[in-house]
C-alpha cells in the first residue's frame, strides 16, 4: 500500500497541502511517523518524516535537515525535491533571493536526470509565489506599496479588492488556499494595511490616480 511507503507519504503531504486538504496531510505525516518508528534502522523513512513535517509546517529548518540527509543519501531525484521544497518554504517566508537560489539548485539536479516534469513542476510552484529563475532585475523592488508586490501578489491583491474570499481566489488562479493565504499576508504587510478592506481602499485610490492622495488603511 502507498501508505506503507514513506516517500510516497511525503508526496501525499505535499499534494494535500497544495489542495488545501490539511486533514489528509496531517494523517500522512502521522502515518509516516509510525513507519519511521518501525523502521528506525533505515535512513530513508527518517528522511521522509523530516520532509513530511517540514512541508506541513513550511519550516525551512526542518527542510534544511531533510536536504542534508538527501545529500548524504546520494539520491539525485530526492535531492532535487529537497531543494525544491526548501525553495517553496523560503518563498513562503518572503526570502525570495534564497528561494531563487534553492530553485536553481533543484532544477540543476532535475536537468542532470532529464526530469523535465519535475523541472516544470518546480518552476510552477515557485512562479505562484513570485519566484522565477534567470537573471536578477537591475532595479531593486521597493519594500512597501504597490510596486513592492510581486506579479503573483498583485493578481491576488486585485481579487481581494473585488471582495473575493481566499477559496474563490484559489480557484480563480489555480492555487492552493494556503498559497493564497501567504500572498494575502504579504500584501497586507507591503501595503501597510490591517485588513482586506484596506486593500480595497488602496486599490480604489490607485485607480483614481495620484491626485486622490494616500488612503489610510483600516
Q: What is the tens place of the pLDDT at every residue in 166-195?
A: 999 988 877 778 888 888 999 999 999 999
| Residue the block writes with cell 503531504 | 13
Among the CATH numbers 1.10.10.10, 1.10.1740.10, 1.25.40.10, 3.30.420.280, which is that of 2-127?
A: 1.25.40.10
Question: Is 147 within 8 Å of 195 (Cβ atoms)?
Answer: no
Alpha carbons 108 and 97: distance in angstroms, whole number: 17
b (16+ CB within 10 A) / e for 105-129: bbbebbeeeebeebbebbbebbbbb
Alpha carbons 218 and 208: distance in angstroms, whole number: 19
Return the C-alpha torsion angle 152, 154, 160, 162, nearest 10. Answer: -120
What average pLDDT is seen over the chain? 86
pLDDT band for position 67 (cuts 50, 70, 90): very high
DSSP state of 4: G
146-212 folds as Arc Repressor Mutant, subunit A (1.10.10)
pLDDT the model gives residue 172: 83
53 or 148, higher pLDDT? 53
* Over residues 63-85, mean pLDDT: 93
Q: How far is CA 84 from CA 61, 121, 136, 184, in A?
A: 14, 9, 19, 22
Using the predicted structure, report yes or no on whether residue 212 has a pLDDT greater than 50.
no
Alpha carbons 10 and 56: distance in angstroms, whole number: 9
- C-alpha grid cell for residue 6? 514513506
Annotated domain spans of the chain: 2-127, 146-212
Using the predicted structure, report yes or no on whether residue 209 has a pLDDT greater than 70.
no
pLDDT the model gives residue 176: 77
Alpha carbons 8 and 25: distance in angstroms, whole number: 12
Alpha carbons 134 and 207: distance in angstroms, whole number: 32
Ramachandran quadrant class, 131 (left: phi over 0; alpha: psi -120 to 50; beta: rest): beta
Q: What is the tens place of the pLDDT at every residue in 99-109?
A: 999 999 999 99
Give the global pTM.
Answer: 0.65
Q: What is the tens place of the pLDDT at every residue in 33-52?
A: 999 888 888 888 999 999 99
Amino acid at each position: 500500500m502507498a501508505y506503507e511507503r514513506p516517500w510516497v507519504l511525503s508526496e501525499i503531504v505535499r499534494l494535500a497541502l497544495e489542495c488545501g486538504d490539511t486533514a489528509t496531510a496531517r494523517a500522512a505525516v502521522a502515518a509516516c511517523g509510525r513507519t519511521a518508528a518501525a523502521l528506525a534502522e533505515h535512513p530513508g523513512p527518517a528522511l521522509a518524516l523530516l520532509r513530511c513535517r517540514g512541508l506541513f509546517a513550511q519550516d525551512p529548518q526542518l527542510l534544511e535537515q531533510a536536504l542534508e540527509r538527501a545529500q548524504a543519501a546520494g539520491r539525485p531525484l530526492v535531492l532535487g525535491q529537497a531543494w525544491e521544497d526548501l525553495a517553496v518554504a523560503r518563498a513562503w517566508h518572503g526570502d525570495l533571493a534564497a528561494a531563487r537560489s534553492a530553485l536553481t539548485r533543484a532544477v540543476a539536479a532535475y536537468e542532470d536526470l532529464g526530469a523535465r516534469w519535475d523541472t516544470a513542476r518546480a518552476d510552477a510552484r515557485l512562479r505562484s509565489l513570485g519566484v522565477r529563475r534567470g537573471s536578477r532585475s537591475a532595479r531593486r523592488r521597493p519594500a512597501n506599496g504597490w510596486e513592492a508586490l510581486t506579479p503573483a501578489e498583485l493578481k491576488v491583491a486585485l481579487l481581494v479588492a473585488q471582495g473575493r474570499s481566499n477559496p474563490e481566489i484559489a480557484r480563480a488562479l489555480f492555487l492552493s488556499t494556503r498559497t493564497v493565504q501567504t500572498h494575502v499576508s504579504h500584501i497586507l504587510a507591503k501595503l501597510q494595511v490591517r485588513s482586506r478592506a484596506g486593500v480595497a481602499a488602496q486599490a480604489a485610490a490607485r485607480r483614481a490616480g495620484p491626485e486622490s492622495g494616500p488612503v489610510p488603511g483600516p
